[in-house]
Amino acid sequence: MPGKVNSEQGSDEGSKNRMSRRDGEMERRGLRRGNPSIVLSVIHMTSEDELKAEIERLRAENESLKKPARGQMSLKVSEKGGLSVYGLGRFPVTLYREQWEKLLGMADQIRDFIRANDGALKKKE
């Protein structure tokens, strides 16, 4: 019958959907199906003490990778190869190398301009 779905076919499609969802979730977490390095690292850690030590190491690594504290500035290379300065405002300031060199080359002029226009420039506290 045209309206009837074969139970084997339906379960096979459901299985594919579940697998693709699981693969998508693994991909979002940065994992790939069958990644041997992940499997091997778990297999080699057999004792509870080793697992606790690994968790502690990963927690310490996680803390070190967290964003800098509010008000601190940091530098990163953007995806497109620019230099991004974080911490000046809500969004990073990103320029390419040549632009930063040009801007830094006129640092004295910028300072002089700020002093000359001190009354007109607003200060963000």
The strand pairing partners of 85, in sequence order, are 75, 93
pLDDT per residue as tens, the chain (125 positions): 555 555 444 555 555 555 566 666 666 655 555 555 555 555 555 688 888 888 898 888 887 777 666 678 889 999 999 999 998 888 999 999 999 999 999 999 999 999 999 999 998 87
Q: Quick check: pTM over 0.75?
A: no
Q: Which of 62, 76, 71 is nearest to 124 (CA)?
A: 71
- Measure the CA dihedral 65/66/71/72, to 10°: 0
Which pair of tokens denotes residue 86?
A: 């974080």
pLDDT of residue 75: 93
Query: Rounded to 5 degrees, what angle do the CA atoms 116, 119, 124 make?
Result: 110
Residue 124 counted as domain residue:
no
Q: Are 86 and 73 in contact (CB under 8 A)?
A: yes
Residue 38 counted as domain residue:
yes
C-alpha to C-alpha distance for 8 and 11, rounded to whole angstroms: 5
62 Rama sector, left if φ>0, alpha if ψ -120 to 50, beta otherwise: alpha
- Structural domains of the chain, count: 2
Residue 121 counted as domain residue:
no
78 and 52 housed in the same domain: no
C-alpha to C-alpha distance for 85 and 78, rounded to whole angstroms: 10
59 and 78 housed in the same domain: no
57 and 81 housed in the same domain: no
18 and 50 housed in the same domain: yes
Query: Which range of residues forms the domain containing residue 47?
Result: 8-65
97 and 50 housed in the same domain: no
20 and 61 housed in the same domain: yes
Domain boundary among 65, 82, 97: 65
38 and 87 housed in the same domain: no
45 and 86 housed in the same domain: no
Residue 16 counted as domain residue:
yes
